[in-house]
Amino acid sequence: MSLFEQVGRPLVVWAQDVGAVTLQWWTAIRALPSVMPVVGKRRRWRAVLEQALAIGVRALPMASVMSLCLGFVLALQSAAELRRFGGINFVVDLVAVTFTRELGALITAIAVSGRSASAISAEVGTMVVTEEMDALRVMGLNPAEFTLAPKYLGALIAMPCLTILSTVCGIFAGYVFMAFSVDMDFRVYFRQAFEAILVRDIWLTLIKSVVFATIIVQVGYLNGLRVSGGPAAVGRATTRAVVESTFLVIVADLAATWFFYTMGWSAAG
């Protein structure tokens, strides 16, 4: 195989994947009204709530424990350096800003990716193998309205909620460290933390969480749809869904942070 082919083939596959995800995302957007309250069907809105609870509750313990641990580690590591310059109080600002702008959304996305991308991919893959998707099409029903849209809207509701919770957990872990190391008061800590955070930071992290939710659901769903051959293929699709969605979440985080930085939205004031 020539060098041109070796480079070209993965690029073509990558371009096909990007095209497929984009088309699927557009299909999901068009199907969203059918699962919304008031304008959509009542039964489908119930399915959305079930999905939101499933995605949120499933990732809740993992996301909060990860945030607590990382918040404590971040405070610990930064305190070791800042103490040398007499700036241990800046640990509060560092933890609050890092979690609000970055880690809250990222940790949540990684936790959801590990649990829900695999679950979505396995569920959809099994539906493909057992011909349930074909059954929906033959009934004249749109599979996107039944399977994709409820999961997508559910994730769009659950992810921002989880992100906020994860951020609070991370900042709280910083307080635990400061309380033990310099005996800082709860009210002093949180006043300083809230002064360090801008409302814009919260908006930007919520936007990130929506982007991450989109990546996780669309990648998980697409990998499930591509299952062919039998139950063994479902397992492979599940693994691929987790790996791809985690990778894409981190890449998207970099792109978003770089964009916000370029626009001057990451600077205070």
Partner 1 sequence: MVLLYDGMERCRVMASSSNEALISVRNVSVSFGSKRVLDNINLDVYRGETLALLGGSGSGKTTLLKQVLGLMKPDTGSIWIHGVDITTCTPSELNTVRRNMGAAFQEAALFNSLSIDANVALPLQELTQLADSTIKLAVWIKLWAVGLADCGRLYPNELSGGMRKRAAIARAMALDPEILVFDEPSAGLDPIVAAGLDELILFLKQTLGITILVVTHSMESAFRIADRLAMLYQGHLIAVDHKDQFVLETHPRIRQFLDRKPDPAPGGERGFMASYLREFQHEH
**The only residue of 16, 130, 228, 239 in contact with partner 1, by rule CB under 8 A:** 130
Helix 42-82 vs helix 90-98: angle between axes, to the nearest 10 degrees? 150
CA distances from 190 to 172, 174, 183, 223 (A): 9, 10, 14, 43
**Least CB distance to partner 1 at residue 133 (A):** 9
Q: How far is the CB of 44 from partner 1 (least distance, A)?
A: 10
Least separation, in Å, of the C-beta of 80 and partner 1?
51
Q: Which of 139, 199, 229, 264 binds partner 1 (CB under 8 A)?
A: 139
Beta strands in the chain (DSSP E): none
| Span near partner 1 by CB under 8 A; candidates 66-74, 84-92, 132-140, 241-249 | 132-140
CA–CA separation, 104 vs 112, rounded Å?
Answer: 12
Kindly state whether residue 228 participates in binding partner 1, applying the rule CB under 8 A: no
The stretch near partner 1 (CB under 8 A) out of 82-90, 134-142, 153-161, 253-261 is 134-142
Q: Is 43 in the site for partner 1 (CB under 8 A)?
A: yes
Q: Which of residues 183-212 bind partner 1 (CB under 8 A)?
A: none
Q: 83 or 137, CB closer to partner 1?
A: 137
**For the chain, what percentages of helix, strand and coil (3-state, to nearest 5) are there?**
85, 0, 15
Phi and psi, residue 38, nearest 5° = 70, -65
CB 162 within 8 A of CB 67: no
Regarding 17 and contact with partner 1 (CB under 8 A), the answer is: no
- Quick one: CA dihedral 235, 241, 244, 246, positive or negative? negative
Closest residue by Cα to residue 150 from 228, 249, 64, 34: 34
Structure tokens belonging to residue 102: 């970055």
Place of tokens 């869904």: 241
Question: x/- site string to partner 1, residues 140 to 179, per CB under 8 A?
Answer: xx--------------------------------------
**Piece in contact with partner 1 (CB under 8 A), picked from 137-145, 160-168, 235-243, 251-259:** 137-145
Extended beta strands in 11-108, E state: none
Burial-class residue 257 by CB neighbours within 10 Å (0-12, 13-18, 19+). Answer: middle
Q: Among residues 41 and 200, whose Cβ is nearest to partner 1?
A: 41
For partner 1, the closer CB: 100 or 147 = 147
Residue that has been written with the tokens 């309205």 in this structure: 145
For residues 98 and 116, which CB has a smaller minimum distance to partner 1 in the complex? Answer: 116
Give least dist CB 210 to partner 1, A.
26
Name which position in 46, 83, 137, 191 contacts partner 1 (CB under 8 A): 137
If binding means CB under 8 A, how many residues of this protein chain bind partner 1?
12
Q: Which residues bind partner 1 (CB under 8 A)?
A: 41, 43, 130-132, 134-135, 137-141
